[in-house]
Structure formats: structure tokens, C-alpha cells
């Protein structure tokens, strides 16, 4: 799913709002979340997950092209932790069950 898909879904559920208004709402949410992370604030969305900024320490890396050692400075990276409810929904969904049944079917066919 991308942003335009999200806008379409919201506009189909909220017919009284224009697509321009929905786009403004979604942009505002994303900008406020980004601003909060820049200020080192944690974002928690119950049932979905949480976002926070973690600091990675400085280290000596390697240029993959030349193999030369390169100093990589301290940096801050966004981190998402999945909420319990979302994790449970994902793990109980049909696609993972379908994959398991496909594997067992292929094992039966191959005689494994």
C-alpha cells in the first residue's frame, strides 16, 4: 500500500470530504509524526505499534566496492516496534496458513 492507495480508501469511506482535504489530513499526520521523531519524542499508536529514534554509535565500516576501511559517524535512525495486537493479527492471518498448506502439499507430492 502506498499513500495514494490510503487516500483512495479514506475518500471512499468519507465521501463528504474532498480528496484535497483528505490529502491535507494525511500530510499533516505524517508531518507531525516526523516532527515528533526529530524532537526525539516517542510515538505510540495503540494496537498498531510505536516509533522512536535510536542512536547508532560510531564505528569503522568497509567500502563494499574497494574494501577500504571507512569511519561511519554516530547517527540517529527511526525504529518501529510492532504492537501486540498487530503482531497477533498478522500471525493469525490466512496467507501464512496458505503458505504452510502449500509446503505440506509439496512435501506430500515429493514424498518428503
Parse the chain into domains and list their residue ranges: 1-41
pLDDT at 104: 57
Over residues 30-58, mean pLDDT: 97
Question: pLDDT at position 105, please?
Answer: 56
7 and 19 Cβ atoms separated by less than 8 Å: yes
Q: CB count, 10 Å around CB of 105?
A: 10
Phi-psi region of 94 (alpha: psi -120 to 50; beta: other; left: phi over 0): alpha
Asked if the model's pLDDT at residue 85 lies above 60, the reply is: yes
Flag whether pLDDT at 54 surpasses 60: yes
pLDDT at position 93: 78
Name the pTM for this structure: 0.71
Give the rounded distance of the alpha carbon of 9 from its chain centre.
18
Task: Return the H-helix or E-strand segment holding 3.
Answer: helix 3-13
Amino acid at each position: 500500500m502506498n499513500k495514494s492507495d490510503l487516500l483512495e480508501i479514506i475518500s471512499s469511506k468519507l465521501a463528504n470530504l474532498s480528496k484535497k482535504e483528505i490529502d491535507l489530513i494525511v500530510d499533516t499526520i505524517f508531518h507531525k509524526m516526523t516532527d515528533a521523531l526529530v524532537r526525539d519524542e516517542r510515538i505510540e499508536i495503540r494496537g498498531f505499534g510505536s516509533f522512536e529514534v535510536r542512536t547508532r554509535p560510531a564505528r569503522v565500516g568497509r567500502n563494499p566496492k574497494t574494501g577500504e576501511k571507512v569511519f561511519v559517524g554516530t547517527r540517529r535512525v527511526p525504529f518501529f516496534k510492532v504492537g501486540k495486537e498487530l503482531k497477533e493479527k498478522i500471525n493469525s492471518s490466512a496467507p501464512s496458513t496458505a503458505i504452510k498448506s502449500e509446503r505440506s502439499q509439496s512435501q506430500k507430492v515429493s514424498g518428503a
